[in-house]
Amino acid sequence: MLEGNESIRSVALDFGLTDPTILQDWIKNYKNKGEAGVQDTYPRKNYVLKDERARNIVDKKLKEENERLRAEIKYLKKSQSLTQKLEGATNKDKVLIVAGLRKKHKLEHLLAIIDMAPSVYDYNLSVIKNKVNKYQEIEDKIDELYLKKHKKRQHYNAIYIELKNLGYKIGNNKVLEIMRAKGYLKFRSKKWLKYSSYEGDKGYVKPNHMKQTFITTRPFEKAGTDITMFRVKNAAVYLSPVIDFNTREVLSYVAAKDAKVDKVMHMLTQLKQKHGNQIEGMMIQSDQGIQYQNSRYQERLIELGMIQSMSRKGNCLDNSPTENFFGRIKDEMWYGHEDEFNSADELIKGIDEYIEYYNNTRIVLKLKTNPIDYRNRSLNNI
C-alpha cells in the first residue's frame, strides 16, 4: 500500500480521508486478516473521494442559494400586493409578509432579505398578534354585505351607505381601505357589443321630446327603454326593460331568445299590469329601432296615455340612463360569470334574479337606498 517514501498522511489525502489514523487501521487489518479485513461492507459517506465531496459541497451551496432566491422572489411579489412601493414598507408590513411565507421558506433567508434581526421580528410579530382589531365587527359586517347580500356586485360607497343605515360609525375612506385590503375592489369593465334594431326611417320616427332632460320630480314622470343582447354558448338572450329615470327602478322587462316586437308589446302589458294608471302621462324614450317605429307599439303607448320620444339617430346619450343600466347589469352579473351559464334559459333565470335584487336590494348611491324603497317613500310624500 505504501510505496517508496510516501507517508501515511499523504496517502490518506489521496483517498480523501480526513483522519490518517483511519489508514493506519486499514493497514493493521490488512496485515492481520488480508483483503477481507479492508473490504467496505457498507457505505461510508466520510470516505468519499475528494471530487465527489467537492461536488456535494457545491450542490449544497447551490441549493441554499436557490432556496434564498425563491424566498426573495416570493417576498417581492407579496410585498408589491400589500404596499405600493417596497422602500415604503414598514416593519409591520415586512413582518406580515415574512409570517405568511415562513411555512414554505426558511426564516433566516426571509430575515436576510428584509435585513431584520430575529429579535426585531419576534417583537413586531408579538405586537401584531396581541393587537385588538377595533374594526373587526365592521369587517365582518362588510363581508356579510358584500359577499352574501350583494354577491360582490356593490362598490364601497354603497357598502358605506348600508353601514351608516345600520348605525355603524365609520368613514367612507375607512370602508374603502378595508375593502381594498380584502381585495374586494376588482371590478372589470368590458366594451360590449351593442344590439342594434335600426333598419332605417320607416316613416314612423317620433320627435326627441326628452332632449336629454333627465331631471325628474317624481316617479313615473320619465322613463327609457332599449334592447341589449347577451351571447351565451351558441345562442343569444335579449333584454328589453323600462327604466324609471326618477327611481332607476326596472318598471317592467322581458328577457327572451329573440327581440321581436311581440316581446316589446308584452313588456308594455306587464308595465300596465304592475303599475296601472300611474304610468299615464309618462314620457318614454327609445332609439329609432324597428320595434319602436312599429304601429302596434306606438298605438299601444297612446292607449296607455304615454308620451313617445325618440333619440336622434346614432346618439346613445339621448337615452343615457337606460344605457347606464345595461352597462351596470353586464358589469355586475355577466362579465367574469359567462361560464356559469350553460344555456339561454339559465341566463334568463340569472337576469330574473339580478333584476329582483336590483329593484329590492341594491343601493343606488344617488338615492342612498334601493329603487322600490325610494319609489314608495316618494309616493307617500306626494
Closest CA relative to residue 211, chosen from 140, 308, 310, 115: 310
Instruction: State percent of the chain over pLDDT 90.
Output: 40
SS (H, E, C) 36-58: HHCCCCCCCHHHCCHHHHHHHHH
Kindly state the average pLDDT of the residues 212-240: 94
pLDDT band at residue 41, thresholds of 50, 70 and 90? low
**How far is residue 157's CA from residue 161's CA, in Å, rounded to a whole number?**
6
**Top-confidence residue, 59 or 24:** 24
pLDDT, tens digit, for every residue of 292-341?
999 999 999 999 999 999 999 878 899 999 999 999 999 899 888 888 99
- Positive/negative CA dihedral, 42, 47, 48, 49: negative
Q: Has residue 264 got a pLDDT over 70?
A: yes
pLDDT, tens digit, for every residue of 126-144?
877 777 778 888 888 998 9
**Residue 178 corresponds to which cell in the numbers above?**
378595508
Indicate the range of 60-64, 83-87, 336-340, 342-346 predicted with least confidence.
Answer: 83-87
Q: Is the pTM of this model over 0.75?
A: no
Q: Which CATH superfamily is domain 222-381 in?
A: Ribonuclease H-like superfamily/Ribonuclease H (3.30.420.10)
Q: Has residue 48 got a pLDDT over 60?
A: no
pLDDT band at residue 82, thresholds of 50, 70 and 90? very low
**CA distances to 26, 191, 226 from 222, in Å:** 106, 27, 14
pLDDT band at residue 234, thresholds of 50, 70 and 90? confident
pLDDT band at residue 378, thresholds of 50, 70 and 90? very high
* DSSP assigned state of 101: H
**How far is residue 123's CA from residue 114's CA, in Å, rounded to a whole number?**
15
Q: What average pLDDT is seen over the chain?
A: 82
Question: How deeply is 170 buried, as exposed, middle or buried, from its count of CB atoms within 10 A (0-12, 13-18, 19+)?
Answer: middle
Q: Has residue 114 got a pLDDT over 90?
A: no
Residue spans of the domains in the chain: they are 8-37, 50-130, 135-182, 222-381
**CA distances to 124, 198, 320, 352 from 312, in Å:** 65, 12, 12, 31
Query: Who contacts 260 (Cβ-Cβ below 8 Å, separation ≥6)?
Result: 291
pLDDT band at residue 101, thresholds of 50, 70 and 90? confident
Q: DSSP alpha helices (H): ranges in the chain?
A: 8-14, 20-33, 50-82, 91-101, 107-114, 118-130, 136-143, 156-165, 172-181, 261-275, 290-293, 295-304, 320-333, 344-360, 371-381
